[in-house]
Structure 1
């Protein structure tokens, strides 16, 4: 199951991503956690030290190797250089099976320990000084999109992405790669405005959005979110000493998380486990966005018609 956390910058999506990952780990569920935000804070929210994160190679740093591996013997892809972020798998492509090790585990993944045993962390990489003025962040996020396009996962296997803020998530087809999208909303007009914009864009492609309220302090905040969001509101996070300590970098055992927060996590997991994937529709959207990117810029960049990379007869094996 693939889960995205999105929302306005500062809404708390990284924190909620981290506690949801911790809940999955507590339950013994295998997780791949991916930090795909321009502000790379998921690792810190999971309690990793700066040295640990410095030793973790970002996906964007090994993107050529990832492309060459995924290309495999696909005759529709002349070279790894012609692969773009939306390139879908086809006959001859190498697929990544969730439960099996792949070269990506050696190149750009970190197996976590302790309370987070069973979690693998990957990061797309921070926006570097050499990128300023010459590149956009979505070039780095492209590694995560290629990963999801070539991933074979199934029930009981969880991939959790902490995404870029606001409508930036729509700069590629990545937003269509998920079974559940959780949008974090604060009880403010500005945050609700981001929610409405996101839902409007997502609805165009049939993407359902579940909403998590955050930083809710009283009944007025609750009433505001209920009135503005309606049935899409899964629940909300109120004041939490555990989360405040987490945000300060003060590690506490997960059992210290308050019962109200645990109840919200239970509702979130129920939403995820109840979702049903439509593989044909997901493939159709992948092909649609690959063609859109090809016509917008990729054909010029690659010097070839990359729409020919679409293999209409290919269907990824199900788990």
Structure 2
């Protein structure tokens, strides 16, 4: 299952992404965390001790990723013809989660119990000439070509606020958790996400964060209604971890917050895996990008890259 964490900057979505990833990993389930935020802090939230993560970022290796994933697909003539939205077809290289392949071997590093991939930072060389969403192309291509099985999890810490709508990446998940503080600004992103989610049939659930009492909880219930799944209370353990005063283990997390993580896991597992919908969204946003800019940029009709006979899902591995 593919899980996205979104929310206003400072809402705690990176902290929740790390807590949930660690929670899954400690239960023995295959899990991969991906840092897709412009502020690359997920490794630190997972407990990285070093100054930086020794993992080549996806955003810096898009040409190699394209070459690998296009495989022998006859509809994709070259890496230059492949854009971030290009969907898989017959002949494409499909991925198993944490499989024995060169993409995972190159880009995945463990931070504690959790395998992690990163998109890379928005650096000085990008200023004025690129947008951060160009770096997220590696994540979009990865998810488009991933065949994740039962009991396998991908947890993505997304960009903050409405920036997540700048590409079709927001449609690539089985469920999206929106982290909201009990403030008007905290729930404003929820309203934007709710409307887009309804348009594309995307499952969303709200996680209240930094809740200090009944008034906070009542505010969230009034603002988001039945979309409120659970909430986390102020956590001295999380604050200590952020200050480097714990060993990164979650078994000392407060009982209420541990229960909230269980609720998230139950919500993820309760949802269906809709392969046709995931592929349909991938194709739709590919065609949108082709018409908007990519046909002109490549000099090709990129609608031709859509393989009408490709059947998404586990059967495609055969």
1:107 Cα deviation (Å)? 1.8
Q: In 2, distance between residues paired with 1:21 and 1:281?
A: 25
Cα distance change on mapping 1:100 and 1:244 into 2, 3 Å: same
Structure 2 counterpart of 1:106: 105
Cα distance change on mapping 1:49 and 1:10 into 2, 3 Å: same
Aligned 8 A contact 1:47 1:251 in 2: no
Structure 1 counterpart of 2:79: 80
Secondary structure in 2 aligned to 1:34?
strand
Structure 1 counterpart of 2:139: 144
Q: In 2, distance between residues paired with 1:184 and 1:203?
A: 18
Identify the match of residue 153 of structure 1 among 142, 148, 154: 148
1:255 Cα deviation (Å)? 1.2
Secondary structure in 1 aligned to 2:311?
coil
Q: In 1, distance between residues paired with 2:58 and 2:224?
A: 35
1:316 Cα deviation (Å)? 3.0
Asked if residue 283 in structure 1 is aligned to residue 282 in structure 2, the reply is no
Task: Give the aligned CA root-mean-square deviation in angstroms.
Answer: 1.2
Structure 1 counterpart of 2:261: 265
Structure 2 counterpart of 1:218: 213
Q: In 2, distance between residues paired with 1:249 and 1:143?
A: 31
Secondary structure in 2 aligned to 1:5?
strand
**Cα displacement string for residues 140-184 of structure 1 (whole angstroms, at most 9, x for unaligned residues):** 011000000000111110000000011111111111111110000
- Work out the number of aligned pairs and report it: 314
Q: In 2, distance between residues paired with 1:107 and 1:65?
A: 11
Q: In 1, distance between residues paired with 2:215 and 2:11?
A: 18
Matches within 5 A, 1:197-208: 197-208=192-203
Structure 2 counterpart of 1:167: 162
Q: In 2, distance between residues paired with 1:248 and 1:209?
A: 31
Aligned 8 A contact 2:46 2:111 in 1: no
Asked if residue 250 in structure 1 is aligned to residue 249 in structure 2, the reply is no
Q: In 2, distance between residues paired with 1:249 and 1:95?
A: 39
Identify the match of residue 193 of structure 1 among 188, 191, 194: 188
Structure 1 counterpart of 2:301: 305
Structure 1 counterpart of 2:89: 90
Structure 2 counterpart of 1:5: 5
Matches within 5 A, 1:39-58: 39-53=39-53, 55-58=54-57
Q: In 2, distance between residues paired with 1:237 and 1:88?
A: 37
Aligned 8 A contact 1:166 1:198 in 2: no
Could you tell me which runs of 5 or more consecutive residues in structure 1 were left unpaired when the two chains were aligned.
Answer: none
Q: In 2, distance between residues paired with 1:125 and 1:255?
A: 30
TM-score (norm 2): 0.96
Could you tell me which runs of 5 or more consecutive residues in structure 2 were left unpaired when the two chains were aligned.
Answer: none
Identify the match of residue 293 of structure 1 among 275, 280, 289: 289
Identify the match of residue 132 of structure 1 among 127, 133, 146: 127
Structure 2 counterpart of 1:35: 35
Structure 2 counterpart of 1:240: 235
Q: In 1, distance between residues paired with 2:245 and 2:100?
A: 32
1:96 Cα deviation (Å)? 0.7
**Cα displacement string for residues 41-63 of structure 1 (whole angstroms, at most 9, x for unaligned residues):** 0000001134451x221011111
